[in-house]
A and B are shown apart, each in its own frame.
Chain A
Amino acid sequence: MAVPTGTTAPSRGEGQGPRPGSGRVREPRRTLKVGRGAVPYLLVLPALLLELLIHLVPMVVGIVMSFKELTQFYIRNWSQAPWKGLGNYRVAVDFHGAIGEALLRSFGITCAFTVLAVGLSWLFGTAAAILMQDAFRGRGFLRALFMTPYALPVYASVIIWAFMLQHDNGLVNHVLHDQLHLSSKPAFWLIGDNSFVSLVVVSVWRNWPFALLILMAGMQNIPDELYEASAIDGAGVWQQIRRITLPSLRPINQVLVLVLFLWTFNDFNVPAAGDLISIHIYQASFLTWNFGSGSAMSVLLLLFLLVVTSVYLALTSMKRRSHV
């Protein structure tokens, strides 16, 4: 999926109050043929149409499908599929049934995976951004090196890690087992319980540079005077990090953590068999050819993400106001 940068809409929207320059729209323009009120609408029209075609209409169709019994018999002619009401949803949340139980398990794994992966990505990104604030020899090189995993195409990263995690000829087992003798026999990293660790490591490897990039950009907006003033007051570098750098980054962290959360939770590109929710739903749809049930699960996932995002934004915005 693309980077879900989405959710900062409220913060952008709030900045859109009356501006000194916006009055000019109402001035008559000779060259303007269309009514002047139409100009902004014409400008956003292409974007709007494309979003409607690719995202919004398919989403509505997806929601409709979730109420249908859309099995392989109806896939050629899906509008003829019989209605099923909430049947698909009932199956998905019946945690005593096989399907519901498997979905709940996958959901739990995804939650744990997301918390770990986002937490570590944020931690690595923050640490590196703070430590790279000063100019020092090799900083430019390090930054390029750190950014490389983020710039690599996702499928290439997945292939490389799948190779490194191979049981017989992978680097990970070679180091852990052959060289460090940490395990009595080579472990399986792509299947079984260990695959969870693999998922987290690979996700952090791919995503922490994004945190670094955003935080480095954010740090450039912290005025130097703050640091200079605190240095005169006798604050050391650790104190400056705690009292100036981290609090100044709070608004950016609000967005960053949310973006990382959505990105990680919907992650689809993983080297190991990890039963993440996106993959689970994909398999539930395409292996059993029951697209009604798959759609219902997707809608539930979307609802969950919507609720988490709203609650998160409400909570963090409240905290931000009371802090500032």
Chain B
Amino acid sequence: MSSPAHRPPMARPMSFVWTRRIVLTLLGIFAALPVYVMLSTSLKPLQDVTEKFHWFPHRLTLRPYVDIWHTVPLARYFVNSIIVSAAATGLSVAVAIFAAYAVSRYRFKGKRVFTITVLSTQMFPGILFLLPLFLIFVNIGNVTGIALYGSRAGLIITYLTFSLPFSIWMLAGYMDSIPRGLDEAALVDGCGPLGALFRVVIPAAVPGIVAVAVYAFMTAWSEVLFASVMTNDTTRTLAVGLRGYSTQYDVYWNQVMAASLVVSVPVVAGFLLLQRYLVTGLTAGAVK
């Protein structure tokens, strides 16, 4: 991870160096332990995970990684999660770019009200609008025939609004850091506002856009509450589907861990690869 090492190396007193070693080691163990448990459990046969916990697997097996695809229709959940998360991310980023451009570059009546309203929606407890939203979706379906309840479309528009406020806020901050002279030059050259946005502002805002895209994808990939109410058998996402590994009598812990690992790898890898964009985006815009 290339991190901006902006502080020049300095001679630090031993007290500082030892505090650093001890504290970071403890935090490292705290962070790594559950990840290790996930990995090691996923490589054990079922008998070995139902009895006493062992630090190291006696018998290594890759069987759970084969079984996870048969115990529940994991591939279908995977496809659903990918479609829903990718669509929600794309739409959320597009909508956020337009709104952030307006907030960053225009003065208009109601701007303050708009930003405060959009941002304060993040305060709403999910349970307050879970049931009403469900009823609204059902009613829209009855009146117009557009199936939002139980469909991926309903989940997509729900998720895109979850990441929208943060995305607008962060992108507007990021665009504020792009010199205004750039898009003014484009306007003078005869571009409309949209031309200036697409030819100048968006290319300059790529790090910020990557950052909000990562955030939006993670938000959609992880959401549980709405996924459990708004989906049916064919549209179920991973967040709900992973419950299928526990039956009434038993939990297939090794398979649960293997499946957790498999569904986590895409987001964790993506996040770790792109986190420097997140830091850049936050530094330039939001955290000023």
Contact = CB atoms under 8 A, between A and B. Distances in A.
Q: Tell me whether A and B are bound partners.
A: yes
Given A131-B20, A134-B9, A160 B38 contact: yes
Contact of B132 (A21, A44, A59, A147): A59
| Contact-residue size bin, chain A (C-beta under 8 Å from the other chain) | 35 or more
Contacts of B238: 153, 155
A8 B124 CA distance: 15
Contacts of A187: none
Interface stretch (A83-91, A96-104, A190-198, A218-226): A218-226
B203 interface: no
Given A10-B116, A205-B30, A2 B125 contact: no
Contacts of A6: 119-123, 165-166
Contacts of A139: 3, 5
Contact of A151 (B9, B121, B218): B218
B80 interface: no
Interface string B276-288: 0011001100111
Nearest to B12: A237
Interface residues of B, number: 121
Given A142-B24, A285-B127, A61 B3 contact: no
B98 A155 contact: no
A298 B127 contact: yes
Contacts of B143: none
B53 interface: yes
A152 interface: yes
B164 A51 contact: yes
A29 B192 contact: yes
A234 to B, nearest CB: 13
B95 interface: yes
Given A43-B99, A156-B264, A213-B282, A133 B7 contact: yes
A151 B287 contact: no
Contacts of B165: 2, 5-6, 51
Given A41-B108, A152-B264, A154-B224, A221 B283 contact: yes
Interface string A73-88: 0000010000000000
Interface string B85-120: 000000000011011011101111001101111111
A105 B164 CA distance: 34
Contacts of A281: 125, 127
B135 A78 contact: yes
Contacts of A217: 278-279, 282-283, 286-287
B123 A309 contact: yes
A9 B106 contact: no
Nearest to B192: A31
B127 A294 contact: yes
Contacts of A55: 121, 124, 129, 161
Nearest to A2: B162
Contact of B123 (A10, A47, A156, A306): A306
B184 interface: yes
A24 B185 CA distance: 11
Nearest to A175: B53
B176 to A, nearest CB: 8
A20 to B, nearest CB: 7
Contact of A153 (B24, B37, B267): B267
Interface of B: 1-10, 12-13, 15-16, 19-20, 23-24, 27-28, 30-35, 37-38, 41, 49-53, 95-96, 98-99, 101-103, 105-108, 111-112, 114-129, 131-133, 135-136, 157-158, 160-166, 168-169, 172-173, 176, 180-181, 184, 187, 190-193, 195, 215, 218-219, 221-225, 238-239, 242, 253, 256-257, 260-261, 263-264, 267-268, 271-272, 275, 278-279, 282-283, 286-288
13 contacts: A2-B219, A54-B161, A55-B121, A134-B9, A146-B27, A148-B31, A149-B31, A151-B218, A205-B34, A220-B4, A237-B10, A278-B125, A281-B127
Given A20-B180, A169-B49, 6 more contacts: A12-B173, A47-B168, A145-B28, A147-B272, A285-B127, A298-B127
